[in-house]
Amino acid sequence: MTRRNTNYNKPFLLRPAAKDYLWGGNRLNDDFSKEIDLQPLAETWECSTHPDGISTVASGEMEGMLLTEVLQQHPEYLGTHPKTESELPILIKFIDAKKDLSVQVHPSDDYAREFEHGSLGKTEMWYVLDAAKDAKLVYGFNRDVESGVIRKSIQEGTVEKYLQKIKVKKNDVFYIEAGTVHAIGAGILVAEIQENSNLTYRMYDYDRVDKNGKKRELHVDKALKVANLKGSASPRQPMRVLKFHRGYATELLCRCEYFQVERMLLNTENYRKMADFSTGDNSFQILLCTEGCGVIYWKENGMIPFCKGDCIFVPANSEKLKLHGKAQLLKVEC
């Protein structure tokens, strides 16, 4: 007979790691109150155990500890489904593209395990938080292409004529499967949910130079080995079907073998109508606040206020929680 764990786990806020890539802007500080002393501020790794940028616990008894340290001490926080120890199978970011990102591609898990020292590949999802009027992103090729043609066009600086460019607006969702050539365009702000990997093959970078005056490294050979060279169909937006719960509604944005993402619309009018929320034994959940503010409560006066830009880790088998406020959140689980 399996004995159920009766020790319930408390949620906690996370503080992100940050990146100052040359294409970044200021919006993560200006709009999301990150208060991070980097210029530019391109990415914040909100929920990460990747060694290139580990999140830190920002509330509760474990405040100040690295998320990896917490999960080493409490592997039960991950739940029974994710088959990892002391690290997450996913990574969650905010990305502010003031300028175009490089044209790039990520390998599959199989390729990465064989050729990149056992690393994971990278399939990802973008949720568009905001976009300039004419903002576009790159999603695959606009026709079937050959490796040699693309290699030559990169050398000549003409590769953009082969890229499929998609207009973008707020609340759009894009699923970027490993092998899809892609790039976030200037003026786009996104939340990214991805596999726990930092493996990127940069195919083209507009001949830009970094702060030291050097061109950034390209990985053309590897990129062409893993890229899908078939013309890509224009990505379709998911069918938005609202499911109503007491105090909030949800809609499924993406479900794949690596993660599930729902948009949660929280709107409680008063304390008597707070929304019930908890996790089971199966998996942890992440709540990423993209608009508004609220409070998450549990027994014995436990509470976490949260606002736009905050990221909350809710361990598996959590306390019975109550949510109050008016906010939009992304709810991510494995």
For 257-294, the pLDDT digits (tens) are 999 999 999 999 766 789 999 999 999 999 999 999 99
The radius of gyration of the chain from alpha carbons, rounded to an integer in Å, stands at 20
Alpha carbons 218 and 5: distance in angstroms, whole number: 49
Q: Percentage of residues in the chain with pLDDT exceeding 90?
A: 89
Residues 160 and 284 grouped into a single domain: no
CA 219 to chain centroid, in Å, comes to 23
pLDDT of residue 271: 63
Residues 190 and 306 grouped into a single domain: no
Buried b (16+ CB within 10 A) or exposed e, 173-185: bbbbbbbbbbbbb
Q: Angle at Cα 160 formed by Cα 21 and Cα 223, nearest 5°?
A: 65
Q: Do 141 and 224 form a contact (C-beta atoms < 8 A)? A: no
Name the band, by pLDDT with cuts 50, 70 and 90, for residue 1: very low
Residues with active-site annotation: 202
Domain that holds residue 99: 12-226
Residues 142 and 260 grouped into a single domain: no
Say yes or no to pLDDT of 116 above 90: yes
**Model pLDDT for residues 118-152, shown as the tens digit of each residue:** 899 999 999 999 999 999 999 999 999 999 999 99
Name the band, by pLDDT with cuts 50, 70 and 90, for residue 239: confident
Interval 288-310 mean pLDDT: 96
pLDDT of residue 134: 95
Say yes or no to pLDDT of 165 above 80: yes
Alpha carbons 264 and 334: distance in angstroms, whole number: 16
Say yes or no to pLDDT of 6 above 70: no
**Model pLDDT for residues 179-212, shown as the tens digit of each residue:** 999 999 999 999 999 999 999 999 999 999 888 8
pLDDT of residue 3: 33
* 231 found inside a domain: no
Residue ending a domain, among 175, 191, 226, is: 226
pLDDT of residue 2: 34
pLDDT of residue 285: 98
* 135 found inside a domain: yes
Residues 197 and 284 grouped into a single domain: no
pLDDT of residue 14: 98
* 2 found inside a domain: no
Cis peptide preceding 238, ω within 30 of 0: no
Burial class (CB in 10 A: 0-12, 13-18, 19+), 62: middle
Alpha carbons 22 and 207: distance in angstroms, whole number: 13
pLDDT of residue 211: 81
pLDDT of residue 7: 61
Interval 312-321 mean pLDDT: 97
Interval 46-68 mean pLDDT: 97
* 217 found inside a domain: yes
Name the band, by pLDDT with cuts 50, 70 and 90, for residue 81: confident
Secondary structure of 284-307 in HEC code, one letter for each residue: CEEEEEEEEEEEEEECCCEEEEEE
Task: Count CB-CB contacts under 10 A for residue 226.
Answer: 21
* 5 found inside a domain: no
322 - beta bridge partners? 276, 297
Interval 209-236 mean pLDDT: 93
The number of distinct structural domains making up the chain is 2
321 - beta bridge partners? 277
* 137 found inside a domain: yes
* 236 found inside a domain: no
CA 163 to chain centroid, in Å, comes to 24
Alpha carbons 238 and 261: distance in angstroms, whole number: 12
For residue 216, give the CATH number of its domain: 2.60.120.10
Burial class (CB in 10 A: 0-12, 13-18, 19+), 268: buried
Residues 222 and 261 grouped into a single domain: no
